[in-house]
Every structure is written in C-alpha cells, then in structure tokens.
Amino acid sequence: MDCIEAQSRIPLFLEDNLELVDQKALIKHMEDCQDCRDEFENAFIVREGLKSIEEGRVFDFDSAVKKKLADSRYFCKTATRLKMLLCVLALVVTVALVSYWLGIFSL
Ligand SMILES: [Zn+2]
C-alpha cells in the first residue's frame, strides 16, 4: 500500500468501515510511515475531538489514538484467526462428507 492509497482509506478506517485486508495493510503502513500516521492522527483529532465537545467529555488524545490502533490490531488478529478456523472447519466437514459418500467413513 502506498501513501495515496493509505490516506484515501483513513476516513473509512475511522468509521470502522474498512475491509479486513485493507485495515491490516493500513495499520502496517502507518507503523512504517510517519506522514500517514500524522494524517491519521489529524483526522482522528478532528473527528473524535468534535465528538467529545458535543458530548461534553474530556478528550485524551494519546490514549484515544492508542486505543483505536490497539482495538483495530486486535480486531484484525481475531478476525484472521476466525477466518482460518472457519476454513479448517469447512475443510473438515468437506473431507468428512466426501469420505462418507465414498463409503470410506460412515457417520
Ligand atoms: Zn504513507
């Protein structure tokens, strides 16, 4: 992912509407690119700062940015594991059904 792609995906990332693969790529890119990290932080300040003013609460920028990135990393890791688990489960079910149909394994 290059900087233009990364920065175009930041608004969707902030809204939690980014596909898993793009989310992982964006997080990885921001770990290595300070420009895009700054772009994300600026967009995050505007979005979350305005929300906190509207809601009358204190906005702790550093904690909020770290939490957003940590939550996203956790989501990516969990979603990836879940997808792998579902793939393994689908494979096991397929093998069991094929084996049953071929008479190799009876349920
Ligand atoms: Zn970049």
Write the pLDDT tens digit of every residue in 34-77.
999 999 999 998 888 888 888 887 778 888 888 888 988 888 88
CA distance 100 to 102: 5
> Which of 18-32, 53-67, 89-103 is least confident?
53-67
Cα 37 to middle of ligand 1, angstroms: 7
Q: Helix axis angle, 34-55 relative to 61-101, nearest 10°?
A: 110
Position 105 confidence tier, pLDDT thresholds 50, 70, 90: low
Q: Cα–chain-centroid distance for residue 11?
A: 13
Domain of 68 in residue numbering reads as 3-101
Cα 3 to middle of ligand 1, angstroms: 4
CA distance 107 to 55: 58
Domain tally for the chain?
Answer: 1
Looking at the domain assignment, is residue 107 inside a domain? no
Looking at the domain assignment, is residue 57 inside a domain? yes
Cα 51 to middle of ligand 1, angstroms: 26
pTM of the model: 0.69
Q: Helix axis angle, 20-32 relative to 34-55, nearest 10°?
A: 110
Looking at the domain assignment, is residue 95 inside a domain? yes
